[in-house]
Structure 1
Amino acid sequence: MDASRGYHQIIILPEDEEKTTFITEYSLYCWRRMVNTIFEPQIGRNMEIYVDDMLVKSKIRSEHFQNLRETFTRLRDSKLKLNAEKCSFRVTSGNFMGYMIMFLEMKPPNSYKDI
């Protein structure tokens, strides 16, 4: 699943904004919004996140529906929207951050350019 406009949807507390500072050739900037906090109870257990890309994982189908329900509840409660064109459901394998993810198996990318 892909969060529409990812980091721009969830507000960061003003006192925490400076912790996200990054430098460009033109100036200093900081993020004013973030995504990982609302999914913290799920990350590593039934979900993986990288920036605005989310992967809900399960070993059995009935468990997967529960995990999706938990994820959708958090999305709705946080008023996060998904990019429907970039979402895939009921797949047994797929690409996530350059890795091919399959049932009980993960294959690394062939080169760093594949990431």
Structure 2
Amino acid sequence: KNAGATYQRMMNKVFQGEIGDMLEVYMDDMIIKSHEETDHADHLRRVFELARKCKMRFNPEKCTFGVRADKFLGFYLTELGIEVNPNKCKAFVELPTP
């Protein structure tokens, strides 16, 4: 019943110094972000070090690297920021005018 909340608290504790700065975590979904491409390898290394220290493992088949834009938790993340997924808004956009 509380497994999800407990897992999220654990992830927040493990990565507390990085969340919001170079990392976003929601349950087992993570995105490592960098303003400069030259910093990205260091950011990856830092997250992997923290994970290894806590004996966490990542499934390589579920990992993607070098992505400049992608969907994350139903939103589009791009270099410009967070954008709404048009498919999620389709019903509202297509509502008839009263």
Correspondence for 1:21: none
Distance (whole Å) between structure 1 residues aligned to residue 75 and residue 83 of structure 2: 6
How many angstroms does 1:60 deviate by? 1.1
**Count of aligned positions:** 85
* CA deviations over 1:79-111 (Å, ceiling 9, x no partner): 101121111001111111011111123211232
Q: Normalized against structure 1, the TM-score is what?
A: 0.66
1:35 is matched with 11
In the alignment, structure 1 segments of 5+ residues that lack a partner are 1-28
Please state whether the residue corresponding to 1:35 is helix, strand or coil: helix
TM-score (norm 2): 0.77
Give me the whole-angstrom Cα distance separating, in 1, the residues matched to 2:35 and 2:2.
38
Provide, for residues 12-45 of structure 1, a one-character-per-residue CA deviation record: whole Å limited to 9, x for no partner.
xxxxxxxxxxxxxxxxx33365322100100000
Alignment of 1:1-115 (within 5 A): 29-31=1-3, 33=7, 34-110=10-86, 111=88
Unaligned runs of 5+ in 2: 90-98
Cα RMSD over matched residues? 1.8
| Amino-acid identity (%) | 32
Runs of 4+ in 1 over 6 A off after TM superposition: none
Bigger RCO of structures 1 and 2 (CA < 8 A, at least 6 apart): 1
